[in-house]
Amino acid sequence: MALSTVNEKGEIENQKSYCLDHSPNPGKSKEDIVKYIQEHDTIIGLNANGLLLQDSDLSNKKFYGCSFIHCTFSNIRSQNLLLKMCIFDFTVMNDCNLLNSNIIFTSFSGSTFTHCLFTSSDMIQDNFNGIKAYQSSFDDSDLFNSRFINATLVDTSYRNCNLKKTLFYDTKRTNVSFKMSNTREAAFTREGSNLVQNTEPDAEELANSEPQQEAQK
């Protein structure tokens, strides 16, 4: 997982690169890549594997075909971020807000999200297999044909989402809300949807069912 090399002109070079652990000057390599991200609005083919990026604003930036495997993101703020065909496998994201993002054909497999917001985003055909999400939100987002297979979801919400063809096979869910989402269009088992059989009714549903039970008695 080599890092991209940034030359003195601030351009990515296709010369021999090193992973962060074997870079001749890892501190400078990280600084060069962080500076490159900060100074460019459109970023293509960047390899930033193993990087730590924190306290940054990525609003309106566009990433195409970039790799951020095993990266750590902390306190990232963004509006209108574009990610297309990027790889974020096994990343750790803490306190990150990626609002109104456009994330297409991108992989977050095996990543961990804590206190992260992906609300009001288009996240089409993305790979979230094996993620762990804690106190995070995908509310008001389009998750068409994305995959959350074997994911662990805790205190995480998918309210008012488009879940058409979204896969949630073998997920572990604790206090997860799908309210106002088209869960019948998603697949929670390999046999089909049937989310109702796998979740407990919320407080509103319980309140509405009690008068009916009394009437039947």
Query: Which pLDDT does position 213 carry in this prediction?
Result: 47
Query: Which pLDDT does position 88 carry in this prediction?
Result: 98
How many angstroms separate the first and last alpha carbons of the chain?
A: 66
Query: Which pLDDT does position 29 carry in this prediction?
Result: 77
Query: Which pLDDT does position 5 carry in this prediction?
Result: 73
Sorted by sequence, the CB contacts under 8 Å of residue 12 that are 6+ apart come out as: 4, 5, 6, 36, 45, 46
Query: Which pLDDT does position 90 carry in this prediction?
Result: 98
112: tokens are 């961990």
Q: Where do the DSSP E strands lie in 7-118?
A: 12-13, 42-44, 52-57, 62-64, 72-79, 82-84, 92-94, 97-99, 102-104, 112-114
pTM: 0.83
Q: Which residues of the chain have pLDDT under 50?
A: 196-217
